[in-house]
Homo-oligomer: A and B are copies of this chain.
Amino acid sequence: MVALTDPDLLFPPEAQSRSLARDLYAGVKNLPIVSPHGHTDPRWYALNEPFPDPAQLLIVPDHYIFRMLFSQGVRLEDLGVATLGGGPVETDGRTIWRRFAEYYYLFRGTPTRLWFDHVLAHLFGIDEPLTAATADRHYDTIATLLQWENFRPRALFERFNIEAIATTEGALDDLQWHQMIRDSGWQGRVVTAYRPDAVVDPDFEGFSTNLDQLGEITGCDTGSWGGYLDAHRQRRAFFKSFGATSSDHGHPTAETANLSDAAAQELFNRVRRGSDDERERKLFRAQMLTEMAKMSLDDGLVLQIHPGSQRNHSRAVFEKFGRDKGFDIPTRTDYVMALKPLLDCVGLERDLTVILFTLDETSYARELAPLAGVYPALKLGPAWWFHDSPEGMRRFREMTTETAGFYNTVGFNDDTRAFPSIPARHDVARRVDCAFLARLVAEHRLREDEAHELAGELAYTLAKKAYRL
């Protein structure tokens, strides 16, 4: 019988390279996990209740999983995905699980397969492949374990050896779960991150109301440009008081602007009243990236830019099921001229860290590595979303290292809400990086002692340092 996860997973088959990769990996596999950019729910750590049934934990909320099944004709309702209208959906965990097991072969060659098998094997001690035949047995195993005390969120957090994890909260969030975690006295380090899209993007649902609310929360006059900026400053300070070391910005493009204060003020006034000029709304988003960068100079928050996703591509799915249902599609994204206003403003600052992500791999070697390889303020985030995969991570290293080096990158982050898969994701990243380093050593482009040092930096140190954790 073949184990679900082989000790040599993702290592190059050639003997000498494999041996090098094994040695490198042995040095990093047990390093603590630093997860500076993620989307787990702080409520879990706050309440520390048992996770729900296997399907609700592992399938229903995972858009990688339901998008693939949907592409092959399975209805979202049959996977338990709730509709906005509250129509009937499958609620029986076992039925959903069986459905998934029946289609599990679809994930061959995908990272989901690697993560899922890793979770089955390492978290739940399962050693038989998931198929229609084994579905019930695996379901029972997992359902049972999830009731155990040592499978509750905090216990897993500790078992996963997580040194620090960041969640992401909107600017209007009261951070009550973070408060509860703090009050509980539990020592796990769960920090928040400042995600102000809803009060920065005029196209966000309820933008105007959101700004009113921002004003109420902060006591600032969010009807004026100055008061609005002050409100951001206050919220950033509040988030910092709950450990935040970064802000995060999911704009559709990488465009930035650097208007005069008067022009920015006028733009704000128009946008605040609900501008119907798309260019104005776009310009406002662009300007706000630069404003956030300037605030970062003052308060030290790391600025993360995640552009390039065309959200909610299917109108029908969006209307029926809402956001985040697997229909966010990457688009071509340009950085060079888009980032110039921000970079002309703050790009040479050595105390600022701006981390760039992309869904457009063509920008790695052409734009991002050349930019990060010269601007002191810029660093490259790891291969992101659809590219958080063995081939995707390999391409990231192959296309960025020669121009930006390793030290203008920031290690790995898992970017996930799928808590049980966090160790799997970090494990895959560590293996891919060790395989890449092993190749450099085998080709005599790097000495072995350097590769060992780098392996540790890519797995642990760079993320910790870049995110100031």
Contacts from A to B (Cβ < 8 Å): 2, 5-6, 8-14, 16-17, 67-68, 70-73, 105-111, 113-114, 129, 310, 313-317, 326-327, 329-332, 334, 336-337, 340, 343-344, 347-348, 350, 359-362, 365-367, 369-376, 378, 386-387, 389-392, 398-399, 401-408, 439-440, 442-448, 450, 454
Which of B371, B386, B405, B406 contacts A403 (CB under 8 A)? Answer: B386
Taking a contact as CB atoms under 8 Å apart, the answer to whether B315 and A344 are in contact is yes
Question: In the complex, which residues of chain B have a beta carbon less than 8 angstroms from the beta carbon of A330?
Answer: 336, 366-367, 370
Q: With A110-B401, A313-B340, A407-B72 known to touch, is A373 a contact of B67 (CB < 8 Å)?
A: yes
Question: In the complex, which residues of chain B have a beta carbon less than 8 angstroms from the beta carbon of A332?
Answer: 334, 362, 366
Bound complex: CA A445 to CA B108 (Å): 8
Bound complex: CA A444 to CA B405 (Å): 29
Taking a contact as CB atoms under 8 Å apart, the answer to whether B445 and A390 are in contact is yes
Taking a contact as CB atoms under 8 Å apart, the answer to whether A109 and B331 are in contact is no
Taking a contact as CB atoms under 8 Å apart, the answer to whether B444 and A109 are in contact is no
Bound complex: CA A439 to CA B372 (Å): 33
Minimum CB–CB distance for A230 against chain B, Å: 28
| Known A13-B442, A70-B374, A391-B401; further 7 A-B contacts with Cβ < 8 A | A5-B444, A10-B445, A67-B374, A71-B372, A108-B405, A329-B370, A391-B398
Nearest CB in chain B to that of A374: its residue:
B67
Q: With A365-B386, A402-B389, A440-B109 known to touch, is A376 a contact of B70 (CB < 8 Å)?
A: yes
Which of B360, B367, B407, B444 contacts A366 (CB under 8 A)? Answer: B360
Bound complex: CA A442 to CA B8 (Å): 9
Bound complex: CA A8 to CA B442 (Å): 9
Taking a contact as CB atoms under 8 Å apart, the answer to whether A375 and B13 are in contact is no
Query: Top 8 A-B pairs ranked by shortest CB distance?
Result: A6-B444, A13-B442, A109-B401, A389-B402, A67-B374, A73-B350, A9-B444, A330-B366
Question: In the complex, which residues of chain B have a beta carbon less than 8 angstroms from the beta carbon of A329?
Answer: 336, 367, 370-371
Taking a contact as CB atoms under 8 Å apart, the answer to whether A8 and B444 are in contact is yes
Q: With A314-B343, A343-B313 known to touch, is A445 a contact of B375 (CB < 8 Å)?
A: no
Bound complex: CA A365 to CA B14 (Å): 27
Bound complex: CA A17 to CA B443 (Å): 12
Question: In the complex, which residues of chain B have a beta carbon less than 8 angstroms from the beta carbon of A366?
Answer: 330-332, 359-362
Nearest CB in chain B to that of A440: its residue:
B109
Nearest CB in chain B to that of A365: its residue:
B361
Bound complex: CA A359 to CA B445 (Å): 24
A sample of 30 inter-chain contacts (CB < 8 A) reads: A9-B445, A10-B443, A11-B443, A12-B13, A13-B14, A71-B373, A71-B375, A71-B378, A73-B350, A73-B376, A105-B450, A108-B406, A108-B450, A108-B454, A109-B446, A110-B402, A114-B445, A316-B344, A329-B336, A330-B367, A331-B337, A360-B362, A361-B366, A370-B386, A386-B402, A386-B403, A390-B402, A391-B398, A391-B401, A392-B402
Bound complex: CA A425 to CA B143 (Å): 50
Minimum CB–CB distance for A34 against chain B, Å: 21
Bound complex: CA A402 to CA B369 (Å): 24
Question: In the complex, which residues of chain B have a beta carbon less than 8 angstroms from the beta carbon of A331?
Answer: 334, 336-337, 366-367
Question: In the complex, which residues of chain B have a beta carbon less than 8 angstroms from the beta carbon of A372?
Answer: 71
Nearest CB in chain B to that of A350: its residue:
B73
Nearest CB in chain B to that of A444: its residue:
B6
Nearest CB in chain B to that of A72: its residue:
B407
Question: In the complex, which residues of chain B have a beta carbon less than 8 angstroms from the beta carbon of A114?
Answer: 445
Bound complex: CA A17 to CA B365 (Å): 28
Question: In the complex, which residues of chain B have a beta carbon less than 8 angstroms from the beta carbon of A440?
Answer: 109
Minimum CB–CB distance for A329 against chain B, Å: 5
Most chain B Cβ neighbours within 10 Å, of A17, A109, A110: A109
Question: In the complex, which residues of chain B have a beta carbon less than 8 angstroms from the beta carbon of A106?
Answer: 405, 407
Nearest CB in chain B to that of A360: its residue:
B366
Bound complex: CA A72 to CA B466 (Å): 12
Bound complex: CA A106 to CA B376 (Å): 13
Nearest CB in chain B to that of A387: its residue:
B365
